[in-house]
Structure formats: C-alpha cells, structure tokens
Structure 1
Amino acid sequence: MSQVRPEISVVIPLYNKGPYVGATLQSVLDQTFGNYEVVVVDDGSTDDGLQTVKLFTDARIKVVSQANQGVSSARNHGVRQAQAPFIAFLDADDLWQPTYLQEMLGFIQQYPNCGLYIAAHKVAEKNKVQDPDKGLPNGLVPDYFKAELDHKITRLSSTVVPRAVCEKVGCFPMGMVSGEDTYFCGKVAIAHPVAFLNKPLVIYNQQYSGLSTRSFKGDACAESWCDLYQPGQYYQNELVAVKALKAGIRFALSMHRDQSRIIEKKTAYTTLFRKKWRYLYFLNRVPTAFIVLYKKIKPLLAK
C-alpha cells in the first residue's frame, strides 16, 4: 500500500530547548487535522531536548541532526527534508491550539496563491499571557510592511508558507543574528500576497527569546536588510530601516564600525526611527573604551 503524502510539513528547529520541546511536540500531536509530518532538526543541542523528542513514537515525526549552525540553517535543512506542499514553521518552545493546522489549511483554500499565511498569536511572558492586537481584519493584507510595523503580526510559529515559495526566495539567511524570520517573510511579501487570520491560534513563548545573548554580536551573513530597500515604498523602507538599525547597533557594540557606519549611512532616510538612528550615530562616534565599559556593566543593570 502506498503511503499517503502529507498535506503539510511541520518544521521544528531544535537547539537546547529541553524544558519546552515536549509540550511543543504534544501541541502538534493534539491537532484535529492529522495528515501532516513533523521534521525536527536538531542543531547540535547539548541538553536533553533531543532525548525528549525521541520519547515520542508517532510515525509522523522525523528527526534529523546536524552540527550547530544556527536556526536559519536548521530551518533550511527542514524545508529540504519536507515532503508536503506547505510548510508550517514552529519553534521548539511555542505552542499551537488544537485547531491550528485545520484552520490554516482552510484559510489557504479561502485565499489561494499567497506567499504567507499568518495567524494571530498570544505572547507568553513570565507572569501572564498577552492577547494579540485586534486591529487587523481577516483576509488579504493590503500592505504587509505597514501591518508589521503597526501590529507586529510576524511570528514564524504562526506562519505557513508554500514550499515552492520557500525554495524560490532562498529560505533563511544563515548567520543573521536576529530578525532572520522577519527578513524571510519580508522577502516573500515583496513578491507575493499575504493573508492574515485574526484568530489567536498560537502562543509565542517570549520567556526564552535569547535576545540578551545576541546584543553584542554582529551578523555574519551575506544578506543585509538594506538589500530590501525599494525607492518609493515608504512602509517597506521604514521596516527595513528599523531592522537594519538594530543590526547596525549590534555591529557597533561588537566593534565592527565599518559595517555599522554603512548601515548608518543607508538608513539616514528614516522618519519613524530617528531616535534609533541617532543612537547608532552616537555609538559610531564614542570612544571604544565607552563601548567596552558599557558591555561590562549592561549585564549588571539587567539583574
């Protein structure tokens, strides 16, 4: 008997998420829609996360391992392994409501030929779960970049993408320290329509964002946010600016001022993020001793 081809592939990158990945996988197995596969890409974990995954015996779960190369590499590997025409991305510490896949596939039928299908999400913080912004209606998004600036709709765990689109846009930038998911979605949105389902079907775990560990690291990828700048596209360019400025600040704090000054120059047009641009301008001109001192005291201030 021939195997039934899955309708959707769930790609889960795994790196040291041992305390969370069991609940994440269980939220997939609890789905009301069953014709899916799960591709877990272990990115060289050093905790017990991989062992936790292997306790699940469901035949739909496939585990592949690689040496640690970062989340973009893990997601790209998962896309290559996927067999279904649609990819549902899920981080190893986030959760889906039981109807997520069923409702997203129905949404795809309602709005065919889109590049991104995004559901609303809740945010889990230390002591509470925050409801999503309710300002964006269901359906096709007139301007993805304005929607992202106004409502922060992009969480990869609440996003489904046709596999052909992933392959066409080149998937995720390896070596981008932060924002690689939004960068990928931005590339897709430039070339394809985006549909948004205003129903909170995903819980994003902000308790383990890892942002504090990346503050002083510059990107090591060939891609740059500034590459997505297009003349005359106001909201697109403002999103490019804020994301590029964050990268520029990391470059400045990691003593890579050649790169940070390039970003400073290329984002001087911004009107929405002048304060952040001025901060980068300041960092590029203060003595390096100030940066060294700041890097030493910042962890103490966070305590």
Structure 2
Amino acid sequence: MDNHKVSVIIPLYNSSEFIIDTIQSILDQSYQDIEIIIIDDNSTDGSFELAQKFQSGHINVFKNKGKGACAARNYGFELSTGNYIQFLDADDLLSPNKLENQVKLLQEFPNRIAVCSTNHFYDTPESGKITDKDFMFSTDKPSAFLLNLYGANGMFEMVQTSAWLTPRALIDKAGLWDIKLSKDQDGEFFCRVVMASYGICYDPIAINHYRKHRDGMNIASKKQKQHIESQLKALESKERVLLQHDINEKDFKHAMALQYKFIAIEAWPEHKDLSNKAQQKTSVYGGSAYLPILGGSAIEIIKKILGWKSAKSFSNWIHNNKLISKLR
C-alpha cells in the first residue's frame, strides 16, 4: 500500500445533481496524492454516466457488487490502495485543505484517527452552520471523546461520515461497515474504528460540508421501523465495544441513558414496542432527563403537563391528519 496516498471512497446513488461538485471538491484539494474510487449502486438518474466522464488514472468508477451504501464503501475499501481512507458521501463537499491538514496530523500521530468540524448546509456551504465545536478536541483517550459525543455531559452531537480521515490499519483492525444496518451505520462503524485507535487528532481549520435535504432524503431523517431497529442495533454495538475497554463508568451510564432515551422518543408512537425497549434500557442506566422540543407551544404545554409520550402522540395525530387532508 502507498504510505502517503489518500483513497477517497464515494458510494453513489441517484446524486446526479451533486456528484460533479463533490468530485470537484476532491480535485481542488491542496493535497495531491489521491485516488478517487466511486462505487455506483445502480443509479437510475444518470449519476453513473456523469461520474464515468471523470474516469482517469486516479479516478475509477465501478458498479456496486453488493447493495446499499455500506456494501459500496466496503467494496471501495477492497479496491483502494491508499494508506489513508476518506469516506465521502456523493452530495457532500470538503474544504480544500481538509486532506492535507489531516494527513499531516496522522503522520505526526500514527495510529490515531483524524476529525474536523462539520458545516451543515441546505443550499450553499456559505449559508451553513457549524454546531460541533464543543465536541471536537484532540485526545489520547478515544472513549472520552466518544462518551462526550454521546452525551456524558447532557448534550450530544453527531460526527458525519466525511469529517473523519482514517488510517487503513485501523479499519483492518476494527472491521468493515455493517451492511445489515440502515441507519446510524456510520456511528457504529466509527465507534469501532475510534476505539481501535490510540486517540483522535482534531484539526480546527479543515471543514466537512454536509448537505442537508428539505425533502427528508438524509438517512438521519428516516423513521421507518427498519431505521429505528437499526438505531437500536447500532447503539447496542457501541455499548458492547465501549464495555470492552477501560471507561469512565459514570460518563458511560449518562451517555447510554441519553442515547436510549433519544431512540425511545424517536420511535413513539409509531413503533411503541421499540420505544418501550429503548426506554427500558434508559432505566437500566439510571434514566435520563433528556427532552427535546416536540412542537409548537400547545405541544410543549401537553409535554409539560402530561409527559412526552402524550405530546408526541398528539403531534403525530396532527401530522397524520394534515397528510390526510392534503390527499383529499
């Protein structure tokens, strides 16, 4: 394997509107020792044909031999030759200094994983917002980073897939993406990778630009039963991985209680069985006071008086009746 090359692995599915800008953000990198591996997952909107136009000595486009983004990432990793792996979603962008800054950090601190802040945007990166600064820091204690991220201090944040740059050896050690997961597969994967590392290197200058979609295309917005089940399985995996290491027990309990409470609220009332299962796990870890804003002033009054389940049920009833009215 090339000791300095970065392999950028892009799973591609029906992203014809964005894929050219995504590829261009890699071509514009100040770091030049790069290969781009695009794995198309049977796109039907011309994405594959657009990507093929960039085919060259260091840009290769393949059809996914499996199914889904996780299988595409695993296939891309199998084909890659770089010592550093950048997973990049087909609609996201990287700041021009992202790879150079993170490679420098990883060369200085071998066996760590590099991360940067994420700018969440809808239309243009300039209109976006960074919300994760309080959760980003360098450390030689991987569990401390993750538990803080998961809510040990009462608040939690996500690190989006493309914010990381990972030494190949850590993926070899931790294992590939779990193709059975349909939501929070990145959180589960990077939990294993982070815990296989010697620590985290944070670069405060580089930026990952994460494109959000108003029509709910982002995986993070999915709430079907299979997605809630995937969230639970992913969290159970994180739980097992962390318990295999020397961790701060108090922080672990706080983080797990909050994470399970979040899923319990997400699942209610559409998937009460999964909500109750998550709530039971919250109780096992001592409970959590976490309560998000569930709606407007009326919903919040119901939450205060009758509890979050009643408020969420009423909010869901209103939403469903609005949909029915639109269909009539």
TM-score (ref. length: structure 2): 0.74
- Identical amino acids, percent of aligned pairs: 21
- The equivalent residue for 2:249 is 233
Could you tell me which amino acid in structure 2 is paired with residue 103 of structure 1? Answer: N
CA distance in 1, matches of 2:181, 2:89: 17
Q: Is 2:320 aligned against 1:296?
A: yes
Q: Report the counterpart of residue 64 of structure 2 in structure 1.
A: 66
Tell me the equivalent position of 1:154.
159
Does 2:94 correspond to 1:96?
yes
Structure 2: tracts of 5 or more residues without a match: 293-302
Deviation at residue 25 of structure 1 after TM alignment:
0.3
- Identify which of 275, 279, 282 aligns with 2:291: 275
Give 1:37-116 correspondences, 5 Å limit: 37-66=35-64, 69-114=67-112, 116=113
Q: 1:214 pairs with 205, 216, 222, which one?
A: 222
Write the deviation string for residues 233-252 of structure 1: whole angstroms up to 9, x where unpaired.
Answer: 34444444444445555655
1:130-188, Cα deviation, whole Å (9 max, x unpaired): 14544467532652124424573612112111222213222222232322112222222
| Residue 176 of structure 1, aligned match among 151, 175, 181 | 181
Q: 1:141 to 1:80 in 2, by over 3 A?
A: same
Residue 106 (structure 1) shift:
0.6
Counterparts in 2 of 1:152 and 1:224: CA distance versus 1, 3 Å = closer
Tell me if structure 2 keeps the 8 A contact 1:40–1:78: yes
Aligned to 2:205: 199
Higher mean Cα deviation, 140-149 or 93-102? 140-149
How far, CA to CA, are the matches of 1:159 and 1:298 in structure 2?
40
Aligned to 2:119: 122
Q: Look up the SS of the partner of 2:82 in the other structure.
A: coil
- Distance (whole Å) between structure 1 residues aligned to residue 318 and residue 224 of structure 2: 11
Alpha-carbon contact 1:70-1:175 (below 8 Å) kept? no
In structure 2, C-alpha distance between the alignment counterparts of 1:53 and 1:70, rounded to whole Å = 18
**Contact 1:6 1:37 survives alignment (8 Å):** no
Residues 238, 99 of structure 1: alpha-carbon distance in 2 compared, 3 angstrom cutoff: same
User: How far, CA to CA, are the matches of 1:45 and 1:248 in structure 2?
Assistant: 34
Q: Distance in 1 between matches of 2:269 and 2:108?
A: 46
- Matched residue type, 2:30: T
Deviations 1:240-278 (A, max 9, x none): 444444555565555472x443332222225545437x9
In the TM superposition, residue 19 of structure 1 has moved relative to its aligned partner by 0.6
CA separation in 2, counterparts of 1:31 and 1:51?
Answer: 23
Asked whether the equivalents of residues 264 and 280 of structure 1 are also in contact (C-alpha less than 8 Å), the reply is: no
- Whether the aligned pair in 1 keeps the contact of 2:116 and 2:163 (CA below 8 Å) is yes
Show the counterpart of 2:194: 189
SS of the residue aligned with 1:218? Answer: helix
Distance 1:197 1:189, change over 3 A: same
Asked if 1 retains the 8 angstrom alpha-carbon contact of 2:117 and 2:163, the reply is: yes
For the 8 Å contact 1:135–1:151, the answer to whether it is kept is: no
Tell me the alpha carbon deviations over residues 167-216 of structure 1, each in whole angstroms, 9 at most, x when there is no partner: 32222222323221122222223332122111242211123652476212
Q: Which runs of 5+ in 1 are unaligned?
A: none
Instruction: State the Cα distance separating 1:71 from its structure 2 match.
Output: 1.9
| Residue in structure 2 matched with residue 139 of structure 1 by the alignment | 138
Report the AA paired with residue 146 of structure 2. Answer: F
Please give the per-residue CA displacement for 1:98-130, whole angstroms capped at 9, x wherever unaligned: 22221111111122221x210122221347221
Pick from 12, 27, 42 the counterpart of residue 14 of structure 1.
12
Q: Please state how far the C-alpha of 1:38 moved relative to its aligned partner.
A: 1.0
What secondary structure, in the 3-state scheme, does the structure 2 residue paired with 1:34 have?
Answer: coil
